[in-house]
Chains A and B, each alone.
Chain A
Amino acid sequence: MGKRFVIGSVGALCVILAVVLANPPNAAAHGEAADEPFLKNMTTAFFNVSVSPTEIEVGEPVRVTGSVKILETWPHTLETPEIASIMPVVPGPVFVLKERFVNGTAAIGSFFAQKGGIYEFEMELVGKEPGDWHVHPGIAVYGTGTLIGPGEWVTVKPSDEPFSFPLTLMSGETIELSTYGGAFVWWWSFAGFVLGFIWILYWTTNKRTVTNLAVTVQLPVNDDAPDIGLITPRDHMWMNVIVGVTLVMLVVGWTYATSNAPVRWPQQTDWFTPEFISSGEKMAEARASGATYDEASETLEMKVQVTNVIQSDIALKQLTIAMATFVNGPEAEQAKAGPSDFVGRLEVQPDGPIAPGENKELTLTISSSIFSEERLIPTQAPQQFIGAVLRFENGNDGHEFVTVRSNVVPTQFRSTYLP
């Protein structure tokens, strides 16, 4: 190993370290910012999400409701969505999940999903561990992983009552799920360990161990040499006793377990096709004709061609990109649109109603730090696209969700030396 090699290696290491330290990934508290933008904005849109209440005691419920749409713009680089599961995304089981409905059906497992499908969820969580927890709804899609919606901080305060999870069996007995069967599992396993430990102690204390090698290397491997004293009839006798005890223990344990739980089922599975939820009354045709993104001011500007196809005025009220919703309306309306960290203002130019039959080009402008915090907009990616869901309203409670897809061009091209 030459001096030059050492210097070269140290040099290379310094360069690598410099590169790593100079480009810190823009990671937010919950990890989803680390995902590529296309994985969020082209796959799903979460809207009308609500997490409430945001302050509870241990043992009290929190409801997580909302909708997620699997977008028609689903990236071709991911497997086509077919099976999905709605789940709370929280830091471990700090809550327990007591209820879950997808499009009105109680969902114990997964469901069949498809591009364009809208899934309305309703989950009830019960606080288990005290602390401040960030609670998101998420949708796990087979082949892709868990895609998360907007999050809300929930404070779980300690309670005078310890956490409990009563569960009623079909036999009528009510058990405490937090601890049920736990002591038996431990003592049963420990009893087996004791038998094994006795087996080991017998051999290691009655016999020389390491020095036996001097003898065994001179014998064939299937010679247990009772005459020499390696394994004696006495050893056989005691080992037979331990094996006998083991078998008795198995039989006794089995008899106890099966009489204690005479009715046993295989684990259950239920995958279903959720009822269809319409994206609303047909009222608008919309097509994006390009977008720009200014990184410095975190401003997205998108041009959309809209045609009103019904007999009354319509207006564009909301735009959802992944887990963020932008509202064309006052603060009060924004507050209703979802968890505040994931809601912003949508500016529509020209604003105002679109008359029946009218075709209009709208310029949508959004300035929001969510873009960089959640890394929603691609600036130098192989797929320079964003997907978004527009919500049109007709003034008498009718609405329609329309998905648009647009390529997005940064307003400044940064020159970079490193990739």
Chain B
Amino acid sequence: MATETTTVTDLAEAAERQRRLELKELLNKKYKWIDWKWDLVFWTTAVFVVAGAADITKQLFAGDWDFWTDWKDPQWWPVVTAFATIIIPSTLQYIQWTAWRFPTGATYTACCLFFAAWVGRYFQWDLAATYPMNFVWPASVVCAGILMDWTLMKTKSFILTSLIGAHVWAIAVWAYNYVPLAAFLQPAHFMDHVVTVADVQGIAYIRSQTPEYLRLIERGALRSFLGETQYVSLAFAGTAAFVGYWIGQFIGRYLAVWPIRRYLKTM
């Protein structure tokens, strides 16, 4: 009996080994019409779609926080930015990992977003509306994208990436953009007050339809945890990013990939 079982297991293992060898061959198979040029066209075309999706999602959820330095505060900005910017990277992670086993979705989206955001800010805000770039610069999420893709590559799991990667994302987005923000948080004397450089920009560069009271920033409240708003905010940003990650997965699974499968089946 024992020998028979072993034989069956051996056979199954051999078959699996054989299957994987065949897959290896398939991976390197030469296709007549689908070569690197096809890939290049595909990746380049996707830039605009992905950039658009990522930029619109960011503007929808984190618009003003991303537009102005005087909104980049310790309390709200890390949370809304982490949430808003993780959604489409998560979608692309799902698509590129499941389709090609590339840990590139988040970085790819971040690079596309970098391109879209700077083009938009420069042409629309700086050239057309004359707001200086040092006031309206967009936050960058490329560094966070690299770290989250790396997390997916190491864990090979969307669940673990959502648990670990989302927190990494939240901290990386904040930390990376705090570096250029730091200079704008220096106190200066203006209008009989001591305010930050960012505040001066917000007051001086007139926004007739965005009055100051609409600014959703830390204003100091009982719930500011001994002044440690920043750390509480970052912890919550991780949770918000976790939610955003799964919204992105949902978009990837049911709005992007599932309809394509349905379509392919009909052919």
Q: Could you say which of A21-29, A239-247, A329-337, A354-362 contacts chain B?
A: A239-247
List the 5 closest A-B pairs by CB distance, nearest first.
A140-B211, A182-B134, A106-B192, A264-B185, A196-B142
Given A169-B186, A177-B200, A266-B218: A108 touches B191 (CB 8 Å cut-off) = yes
Closest CB in chain A relative to B55 CB, distance in Å: 15
Give per-residue flags for B60-95: 1 if the beta carbon is below 8 A from chain A beta carbons, else 0: 000000000011011000000000000000000000
- A265 interface residue per 8 A CB criterion: yes
B193 with A108: CB separation less than 8 A: yes
**Taking CB as reference atom, which chain A residue is nearest B159?**
A222
What DSSP secondary structure best describes chain B's contact surface? helix
Given A208-B27, A210-B39, A239-B103: A129 touches B130 (CB 8 Å cut-off) = yes
A110 with B212: CB separation less than 8 A: yes
- A350 interface residue per 8 A CB criterion: no
Contact partner, A267, options B70, B107, B142, Cβ 8 Å: B70
- B146 interface residue per 8 A CB criterion: yes
- B42 interface residue per 8 A CB criterion: yes
Contact partner, B146, options A83, A186, A196, A210, Cβ 8 Å: A196
B20 with A228: CB separation less than 8 A: yes
A92 with B129: CB separation less than 8 A: yes
- B5 interface residue per 8 A CB criterion: no
Summed over the interface, the residue pairs from A and B with CB atoms below 8 Å come to a total of 304
B132 with A236: CB separation less than 8 A: no
- B240 interface residue per 8 A CB criterion: no
B99 with A185: CB separation less than 8 A: no
Contact partner, A229, options B24, B143, B153, B158, Cβ 8 Å: B24
- B1 interface residue per 8 A CB criterion: no
A167 with B190: CB separation less than 8 A: yes
Residues in A neighbouring B104, C-beta threshold 8 A: 199-200, 203-204
* Most central of A84, A203, A271 by chain B CB within 10 Å: A203
B102 with A207: CB separation less than 8 A: yes
Contact partner, A212, options B101, B108, B205, Cβ 8 Å: B101
Contact partner, B187, options A257, A263, A270, Cβ 8 Å: A263
- A138 interface residue per 8 A CB criterion: yes
B206 with A90: CB separation less than 8 A: yes
- B49 interface residue per 8 A CB criterion: no
- A56 interface residue per 8 A CB criterion: no
- A94 interface residue per 8 A CB criterion: yes
Residues in A neighbouring B245, C-beta threshold 8 A: none
Closest CB in chain A relative to B167 CB, distance in Å: 16
Bound-complex Cα distance A92 to B208 (A): 7
B100 with A239: CB separation less than 8 A: no
Chain A 205-253 interface residues, beta-carbon cutoff 8 Å to B: 207-216, 218-219, 221-225, 227-231, 235-236, 239-240, 242-243, 246, 249-250, 253
Chain B 188-224 interface residues, beta-carbon cutoff 8 Å to A: 188-209, 211-213, 215, 217-220
B182 with A261: CB separation less than 8 A: yes
Closest CB in chain A relative to B185 CB, distance in Å: 4
A250 with B143: CB separation less than 8 A: yes
**Taking CB as reference atom, which chain B residue is nearest A252?**
B179
Residues in A neighbouring B143, C-beta threshold 8 A: 192, 195-196, 246, 249-250
Residues in A neighbouring B2, C-beta threshold 8 A: none
Closest CB in chain A relative to B157 CB, distance in Å: 5
Closest CB in chain B relative to A142 CB, distance in Å: 5
Chain B 111-143 interface residues, beta-carbon cutoff 8 Å to A: 111, 114-115, 118, 129-134, 137-138, 140, 142-143
Given A182-B132, A209-B102, A263-B187: A228 touches B111 (CB 8 Å cut-off) = no
A228 with B201: CB separation less than 8 A: no
Closest CB in chain B relative to A224 CB, distance in Å: 5
- A184 interface residue per 8 A CB criterion: yes
Bound-complex Cα distance A258 to B175 (A): 12
A106 with B193: CB separation less than 8 A: yes
**Taking CB as reference atom, which chain B residue is nearest A165?**
B204
A85 with B211: CB separation less than 8 A: yes
Give per-residue flags for A83-119: 1 if the beta carbon is below 8 A from chain B beta carbons, else 0: 1110111101111111110000011111000000000
Contact partner, B134, options A145, A180, A243, Cβ 8 Å: A180
Closest CB in chain A relative to B142 CB, distance in Å: 4
Residues in A neighbouring B42, C-beta threshold 8 A: 209-210
- B43 interface residue per 8 A CB criterion: yes
Residues in B neighbouring A219, C-beta threshold 8 A: 23, 101
Residues in B neighbouring A90, C-beta threshold 8 A: 206, 208
- A175 interface residue per 8 A CB criterion: yes
Residues in B neighbouring A196, C-beta threshold 8 A: 107, 110-111, 114, 142-143, 145-146
B150 with A239: CB separation less than 8 A: yes
Given A168-B188, A181-B184: A208 touches B99 (CB 8 Å cut-off) = no
Contact partner, A171, options B24, B73, B185, B186, Cβ 8 Å: B186
**Taking CB as reference atom, which chain B residue is nearest A219?**
B23
Residues in A neighbouring B188, C-beta threshold 8 A: 167-170
Given A85-B213, A90-B208, A199-B104: A265 touches B185 (CB 8 Å cut-off) = yes
B133 with A182: CB separation less than 8 A: yes
A250 with B200: CB separation less than 8 A: no
**Taking CB as reference atom, which chain A residue is nearest B182?**
A257
B28 with A229: CB separation less than 8 A: yes
Closest CB in chain A relative to B155 CB, distance in Å: 8
**Taking CB as reference atom, which chain B residue is nearest A88?**
B206
Given A140-B213, A165-B204, A192-B143: A93 touches B27 (CB 8 Å cut-off) = no
A-B contact pairs, 30 of them (CB 8 A): A85-B211, A85-B212, A90-B208, A92-B206, A98-B204, A108-B193, A109-B213, A167-B197, A170-B194, A175-B197, A182-B132, A185-B180, A193-B111, A193-B115, A193-B142, A203-B103, A209-B42, A210-B38, A215-B26, A219-B23, A231-B153, A243-B146, A254-B175, A254-B178, A257-B183, A258-B182, A266-B73, A268-B193, A268-B199, A269-B220
